[in-house]
Amino acid sequence: MAVSIPVAKQQLFDYPRYWAECFGPAPFLPMSREEMDLLGWDSCDVIIVTGDAYVDHPSFGMAIIGRLLEAQGYRVGIISQPDWHSKDDFMKLGKPNLFFGVAAGNMDSMINRYTADRKVRSDDAYTPGGSGGKRPDRASLVYSQRCREAFKDVPVVLGGIEASLRRIAHYDYWQDKVRHSLLIDAKADILLYGNAERAIVEVAHRLSRGEPIQSITDIRGTAFVRRDTPEGWFELDSTRIDRPGKIDKIINPYINTQDTSACAVEQAKGPDQNDDDGVQVVELLPHPRLERDRTVIRLPAFDKVKGDPVLYAHANRVLHLETNPGNARALVQRHGDRDVWFNPPPIPLSTEEMDYVFGLPYARVPHPAYGDQRIPAYEMIRFSVNIMRGCFGGCTFCSITEHEGRIIQNRSHDSIIREIEEIRDRVPGFTGVISDLGGPTANMYRIACKSPEIEAACRKPSCVFPGICENLNTDHSSLISLYRKARDLPGVKKILIASGLRYDLAVESPEYVKELVTHHVGGYLKIAPEHTEEGPLTKMMKPGIGSYDRFKQMFEKFSKEAGKEQYLIPYFIAAHPGTTDEDMMNLALWLKRNGFRADQVQAFYPSPMATATAMYHSGKNPLRKVTYKSDGVSIVKGERQRRLHKAFLRYHDPNNWPLLREALTNMGRADLIGNGKHQLIPAFQPAMSGYQSARRKNSTPAGSKKAGRLLTQHTGLPPRDTGAGKGTGKPGKRKPARRG
C-alpha cells in the first residue's frame, strides 16, 4: 500500500477566529499595561515569555508565534528578557486567560551564554546594545518556574529551539552529565518541538473551548507527561529495533520478550541445550508495522541512559530514526514514576501556509521601547529574506534537522517578492541591497524527493550522504528564476546570498553556479567543507573534499568569465568527534598548500540531542548499530588537545607555534618544522608576536557608535581599506584575510 507524508486535518488559515479578533492587529504586540490600555485590552489571552529582545520580524520566534495567534483572534502580550530573580516581571501584564508560552529565544540559552570552551560570553546578539547577562542559564526552565509562581493555575507551554533540543533525556555539555527531559525539570504542562505553528494554534483553540491542558495528548510535535501507556497502543521496546546489548546466543524467537519469567528461563539455558526441552511458546507478538499509527517505541529510561553511555547513544539513534513525519512513531521515555510521551513530528507547512505565516502584519523593526539601542541579531537580518525552512543534509553536529525537520518547506515566489518590496518601502536605512535570500541552506529551495511515496517511507538521516540520493530532485531552476525576479525589482540594486551553500548540490546545476557567481556574490562566498579527512567527515556526514574542489573550479571559472575578483571562504571545525591529531595536521597542510589562513576558528560545540554530541558523550557512532562491542569514535575532550586542534587551523599565528612544534615532534613529524614551502611552521620563535587577526583589524573600534559589528569578509563585505597605499600613489588595497 502506497504511503505519503500525512496531510494536516486543518490548514492554519481555516480555523474559526476567536472572539477577540474584533480588536484587530496591534502595531506591536504589547509589552506593558499601558500599551494594553491603548489597545483597549483588559487582559491578554496568551503571554509569550522570551529570552530575546522583542523584534517584530519573521526571523524571531516570538514574533511569528505572537502574530500567528493574533491572526487567530487572540490577544497576545510579550514579556521580553524579564528579571528572573523574582516573579514580579512575570506578572506585569496580568494573568493570561489561556496560557503562558515560554521560550529561551532563537538560540539554546547555554550556547548563547557560553563559548565552546565553557567561558561566559561578554555579549549577546539578541539583546539591546549587545550586552550579555540578560537571560539565565537554561532560560526555559527558569522562566517556566517563575510563570508558575506568578499564576500557579495557568498552563505553561514550552517551545522554541531549546525545548526542541532538550525534549528527551539529553547530555548537557556544561555539566558533563545527562539531564532529564526539560519538560520534567521545568514542570511545564506541554512541550512543543520543531516549528510549532500547527501545534500552538491547535492548543490555543482547544484551551479557548474549555478543554483542560492535561487532555491535549493527540497533537503532533508535542511532548507531555503521563503515567502509563493508554489502552489500544502497542508498545515496542527500542532494543527490538536496534539491540544495543551483548549478544552471546540466539534466544528463542517465539518468546514474548515482555514476559520476564519466560526470558529468564531462556537466558538460563546452556549453550548446548536445544530449544524443545519444555520451554513453552508464550505467544506470537503482533507485527508493529500493521499498527504503526498506534505503536509507541519505549526508549531506555532516564535512570538507564544517565549511567550507560552506550544506551544513551542507542536512544539517540532510535530517536533520529523516528524523525520523518511520513513514518515516525510515537516515543516514550520513563523518568522516575512518570513517562514523557513524544508524539510524531509535526506535518510540514504547505507553501500556502508558509506564505500565510510570513505575510502576517509584522512591523519588521524592534519594539519602540528599545529606543535607539541596536540589536545586533536584527542588524544582521533586517534586509534579508527567509525563503524556506528545513535541511536534509543531516550534518551530525547541527541541530536544524532536529528542530525544523529534513523536508524543505518553501514559500512562493510571489510571497518572497512581496517581502522584498516591503523591505524596500518600509524598513529604515535600506540602500537597495538585500543581504540574503536563503534559510538554513541557501540552495535547497524547492528541492525534494522525486517520489512522495519514497519520501514518506525513507528513514535515511541524510539525502546527500555518502552521496546524493538517486531519488533526490536537484533541479535549481525555480531558485534561478527567483533570483532573476528579485534583482529585476525597481529600487533593488543587489541581491546577495549569505546563507551557507550546499556546494555538492550546487555542482549538479552549473547554470545555478553561474547565476550565483555572476550576480549574487559580494566578493566572498562562505561554504563549509568542515574538514578534508575521511575520519571526521564520515562522522559529520559531510562530502569529501573533492566536492569542494569541483565547486571551486566552477566558482573561479564563472568569476573569471564575469570579470570579477571573488573568493571562497571555507569554514572548518576543530575537535569534532572522529578527528585525530593527524587529521588536523593534514588539514593544516591542506590549508597552507591552498593559501588559506583561517581567520575565525570554530571548535566543535556539543549541542543537546545532536548525533555528534551522542558520539562525544558515549564514544560510539550512532550512525550505525550501537553495541557494547561496536567500534569506538576518537573523541577530543581535554582542554590541551582542543587547543591543539584549533592551533592547527591557525597554523599561521606565531602564538600557536610553540604548541605545534611540541605536538609535531611528539607525532614524529618534526620534518614539518622549518622554513621550507612544504613545512608547516618555522623553527624560530619571534620574541614578540605582532600578529593581529584580520577579524580584529577589520572590527569597529571600541566606543564608536557602530561598536560590536565586525566588518569582515564574514559579513559579505570586502576588507576595509587600511590606507596602506597612502603616499605611494596607490590605493590601500590588501589581499583577503583568508588567503596567503
Q: Would the pTM count as exceeding 0.85?
A: yes
509 within some domain: no
Give the dihedral sign, CA 218/223/229/235: positive
The answer to whether residue 487 scores a pLDDT higher than 60 is yes
Parallel, antiparallel or unpaired: strands 436-438 and 384-386: parallel
Q: Mean pLDDT throughout 213-238? A: 95
For position 240, what pLDDT does the model report? 83
Instruction: Give the number of C-alpha atoms closer than 13 A to the C-alpha of residue 47, restricted to the C-beta side.
Output: 29
For position 692, what pLDDT does the model report? 54
For position 374, what pLDDT does the model report? 96
CB 70 within 8 A of CB 29: yes
How far apart are the C-alpha atoms of 462 and 487, rounded to whole Å?
32
Longest dimension (CA), the chain: 100
Does residue 101 sit in helix, strand or coil?
A: strand
- Domain extent for 301: 228-242+290-336
For position 560, what pLDDT does the model report? 97
Reported as a pLDDT band with limits 50, 70 and 90, residue 248 is very low
* Type of residue found at 721: D
Give the dihedral sign, CA 277/283/288/289: positive
Residue written as cell 510540514? 348
Going along 166-299, which residue ranges are E strands?
Answer: 170-172, 177-179, 190-192, 222-226, 234-237, 295-299
How far apart are the C-alpha atoms of 636 and 453, rounded to whole Å?
41
297 within some domain: yes
323 within some domain: yes
147 is in an annotated binding site: no
367 within some domain: no
For position 688, what pLDDT does the model report? 59
Reported as a pLDDT band with limits 50, 70 and 90, residue 239 is confident
Residue written as cell 598548500? 593
CB 156 within 8 A of CB 148: yes
Parallel, antiparallel or unpaired: strands 234-237 and 295-299: parallel
The answer to whether residue 484 scores a pLDDT higher than 60 is yes
The total number of structural domains in the chain stands at 1
Alpha-helical (H) ranges within 72-127 are: 109-113
Does residue 26 sit in helix, strand or coil?
A: coil
The answer to whether residue 498 scores a pLDDT higher than 80 is yes
How far apart are the C-alpha atoms of 116 and 616, rounded to whole Å?
13
238 within some domain: yes
Lowest mean pLDDT among 166-175, 291-300, 459-468, 692-701: 692-701
The answer to whether residue 71 scores a pLDDT higher than 80 is yes
For position 258, what pLDDT does the model report? 46
For position 719, what pLDDT does the model report? 42
Give the dihedral sign, CA 83/86/88/90: positive
Reported as a pLDDT band with limits 50, 70 and 90, residue 245 is low
Q: What is the DSSP string of 419-479?
A: HHHHHHHHSTT--SEE-EEESSSTT-TT-EES-HHHHHH---S-SSSSS--TTEE---HHH
Closest alpha carbon to 384 in 521, 482, 497, 491: 497
For residue 87 the three cell numbers come to 516573579
Reported as a pLDDT band with limits 50, 70 and 90, residue 2 is low
Angle, helix 657-666 to helix 639-649, in steps of 10 degrees: 110
Give the dihedral sign, CA 29/32/33/39: negative
CB 62 within 8 A of CB 54: yes
The answer to whether residue 496 scores a pLDDT higher than 80 is yes
Q: Mean pLDDT throughout 73-88? A: 98
For position 510, what pLDDT does the model report? 97
398 is in an annotated binding site: yes
490 within some domain: no
For position 727, what pLDDT does the model report? 41
Residue 180: φ, ψ to 5°: -60, 165
Q: Mean pLDDT throughout 641-664? A: 96
How far apart are the C-alpha atoms of 456 and 3, rounded to whole Å?
6
Q: Mean pLDDT throughout 501-526? A: 95
For position 290, what pLDDT does the model report? 52
For residue 696 the three cell numbers come to 580584529
Quote the mean pLDDT of the chain. 88
How far apart are the C-alpha atoms of 609 and 611, rounded to whole Å?
6
**What DSSP character marks residue 620?**
B
For position 449, what pLDDT does the model report? 96
How far apart are the C-alpha atoms of 496 and 522, rounded to whole Å?
6
Q: Mean pLDDT throughout 679-688? A: 88
The answer to whether residue 684 scores a pLDDT higher than 80 is yes
pLDDT in tens, 379-438: 999 999 999 999 999 999 998 888 899 999 999 999 999 999 999 999 999 999 999 999
CB 406 within 8 A of CB 463: yes
Reported as a pLDDT band with limits 50, 70 and 90, residue 516 is very high
391 is in an annotated binding site: yes
254 within some domain: no
Residues 6+ apart with CB under 8 A from 634: 535, 577, 578, 579, 580
Reported as a pLDDT band with limits 50, 70 and 90, residue 244 is low
Query: H or E segment at 536?
Result: helix 534-540
Neighbours of 727 (CB within 10 A): 7
For residue 22 the three cell numbers come to 474584533
How far apart are the C-alpha atoms of 373 and 393, rounded to whole Å?
37
